[in-house]
Homo-oligomer: A and B are copies of this chain.
Amino acid sequence: MEVSLKTRLGPIELSHPVINASGTFDVLSADLVLEEDLFDRFPFSAYVPKTVTLKPRRGNPPPRLYETAAGLLNSIGLANAGIDAFIREDLPRLAQLPVPVIASVAGESTDEYGACAGLMEGRPEVAAVELNVSCPNLELGGRALGLDPERTHRTVALAREATSKFLIVKLTPNVTDIVEIASAAVDAGADALSLINTVHGMALDRYHLKPVLGHLSGGLSGPAIKPVALRAVFLVSRAFASLPIIGMGGVTDGQDALEFLAAGAAAVAVGTASFRDPLAAAGIANELRKLMQERGIGSVAELSGLAQR
């Protein structure tokens, strides 16, 4: 049986549904290290660079990583060289990729989100903008903007004004009601949602019994959070039937991708699994095709939202 893996995020056509999760695959670095011409053979159907902010950020003090049961805690703290360096140094090289580039931006204030989105406006290399409103340690008191429906609305509205690009908003699961936050983002003009960013968590050093991360607490990713992510995708996609959703959180094999799509996603993103195997995404897309074949599902459109029907 012929299976088409093609999918779309609004106007953006993707050759298959597997993209990367922001902050987990640095193609410019990986291309130097992996003995594989990544620009020729790219495993993801779109590329999302690490989130950039208006000003450069050093990021949080180490240790920044700790493995937990089937999960990974991180507290990178949006370390990045700033949006100017991104535009000047990275974008020209990323434009050579054979897939669309989705720029991920964040601000240390609501205004900065608008400014960052605006700076992407004139860039033909950028196919879409992803607003990361879900990273902790930004703004006052270290609370992500995306924890609050009003602030989410304000932030997304500002970015919406600043850009005509396809606008994706990436939400945090660390809220009482993710559908309420999703609703605020959609009301304010989001074209699509990415679900989910990491889950708040903490680990102690087994010897010293102090928080192991330099930043004390961090974000949990990987298979451990897959049930949380699947639920978010399912609930939000049920509430906003025609909204494109990029599902992520623990996608590790083709079966996971299949399930996220069935829950209502139009595409899935692979994060932590790329640390097990940097090109895991290629295998995931292949397995997905096989599983769709076995089940007689001919297209992503047919699959997407199956769990809802």
Q: Which residues of A contact B (CB under 8 A)?
A: 68-71, 73, 147-148, 174-177, 199-204, 206, 209-211, 216-217, 220, 222-228, 230-231, 234, 250, 255, 258-259, 262-263, 295, 303, 306-307
Contacts and interface: CB of A to CB of B under 8 A. Distances in A.
Nearest to A217: B231
A225 B222 CA distance: 12
A134 to B, nearest CB: 12
Contacts of A216: 234
B220 A201 contact: no
Where chain A touches its partner, the secondary structure class is: mixed
A174 B235 CA distance: 15
Contact of A262 (B148, B209, B255, B303): B209
Given A147-B176, A230-B203, A224 B71 contact: yes
Contacts of A177: 147
A230 to B, nearest CB: 5
B202 A230 contact: yes
- Copy total for this chain: 2
Contacts of A250: 69
**Chain B CB within 10 A, most for which of A69, A203, A210, A263:** A69
Contacts of A204: 230, 259, 262-263, 307
A228 B174 CA distance: 10
A223 B211 CA distance: 18
Contacts of A255: 206
A182 to B, nearest CB: 14
Contacts of A147: 176-177
Contact of A202 (B203, B210, B234): B234
Contacts of A69: 70, 222-224, 226, 250
Contact of A201 (B148, B174, B201, B228): B228
| Nearest 7 Cβ contacts at the A-B interface | A201-B227, A69-B223, A202-B231, A70-B70, A224-B224, A69-B70, A209-B262
A307 B209 contact: yes
Contacts of A176: 147-148, 174-176
B70 A71 contact: yes
B209 A259 contact: yes
A70 B230 contact: no
A231 B201 contact: yes
Given A70-B70, A307-B209, A230 B259 contact: no
A174 B263 CA distance: 20
A222 B258 CA distance: 25
10 contacts: A70-B224, A175-B176, A176-B176, A206-B255, A209-B259, A209-B307, A210-B306, A210-B307, A211-B234, A216-B234
Given A202-B227, A209-B306, 4 more contacts: A70-B224, A73-B227, A210-B306, A217-B234
A174 B231 CA distance: 12
A181 B148 CA distance: 16
